[in-house]
Amino acid sequence: MTDLTGKTAIVTGGLSGMGLAIAEALAQAGAAVAVGSRSARSSDDPALSALRTAGDRVFAAPLDVTDQSSIDAFIAGADAAIGPADILVNAAGMTREQPVCGHDDALWNAILHTNLTGAFRMTRALLPGMIDKGFGRIINIGSTAASVGWKDNPAYCASKAGLLGLTRCVALEGAPHGVTCVMISPTWVETDLMRRDVAEIVQREARGRSVEQAMADIASENPQGRILQTDEIAALALYLCSDAARGITMENIQVTGGALW
């Protein structure tokens, strides 16, 4: 098993979906974990309770990666609570169905600022400290959308393609200093975000399918006949944080079950 005792990690979007699964895996491996989320409002949040069960050093606070002042406050709080970050997982993300024709500027900006600029700002804040200590692991949660188009999702596809470019630049900057940067790009993963997006697709197509029928159709289209689960992404992220993965950087690792999308 990967032992991250003595390491500290920050996970954005860390109270839901892939972010939560990764945070739990890091905590179980011994890392002190700080999770930031727009939903981090209550100490009795079930997700936070589960995370604290996974590890005994957990910090959680509100974080809006589109707001620099929120980022600054969160990082200051995390630093005081668990120490400077050795690991950064940029898992905060959003998407909405909208074709290019008539695409709203505010929606475009919200998606780009969350998925791409937010990851840039978090990395900009934490990379210097990792370089100074000679160790760092940065993992960006991407998507097959980084390299495959998706109808009615231009902002999401653009944000993930941009995130891949950022990943490569960060990897090169950190390489001489023991800092790696990798993007994990899954196909559909069963999360609340996926269900919300599928519900939006079903509503737009007006074919009479239910969300569950649409989910089943997505599963049947995958060569493995299933939808990926968050623990699969978490297991990969955990490995990438280990010393064994020190040579893996600047990569876009796709987890697809054999699917092109």
Closest Cα partner for 163 from 93, 99, 103, 226? 93
Determine the residue type at 72: D
Give the model's pLDDT for residue 204.
87
Give the pair of three-digit tokens for residue 88: 């950064």
Q: Give the integer Cα–Cα distance in Å for 95 and 200.
A: 10
Tell me the C-alpha distance between 61 and 93, whole Å.
17
In whole angstroms, how far apart are CA 246 and each of 77, 187, 204? 28, 25, 44
| Number of CB atoms found within 10 A of residue 135's CB | 17
Name 4's Cβ contacts closer than 8 Å, sequence gap at least 6. 26, 29, 30, 31, 87, 238, 241, 242
Which pLDDT does position 43 carry in this prediction? 59
pTM, to two decimals: 0.96
Q: Which secondary structure element, helix H or strand E, spans residue 140, and what is its range?
A: strand 136-141
Tell whether domain 8-187+229-249 is in CATH 3.30.420.40. no
At 259 the three-state DSSP class reads coil
Q: Which residues pair with 228 in a beta bridge?
A: 189
Angle between helices 211-221 and 192-205 (to 10 degrees): 110
Q: What pLDDT is recorded for position 206?
A: 80
Listed residue (100, 233, 103, 109) closest to 159, CA to CA: 109
Residue 6's pLDDT is what?
A: 97
The whole-number pLDDT of residue 49 equals: 85
Low-confidence stretches of the chain (pLDDT beneath 70)? 41-44
Question: Per the structure block, which two tokens stand in for 72?
Answer: 């600054």
Q: Using CA atoms, how far apart are residues 222 and 199, in angstroms rounded to an integer?
A: 19
Catalytic machinery residues: 156
Integer angstrom CA distances of residue 166 from 115, 149, 160, 214: 11, 19, 10, 33
Q: Please report, for the chain, the start and end positions of each structural domain, with discontinuous segments joined by +.
A: 8-187+229-249, 190-227
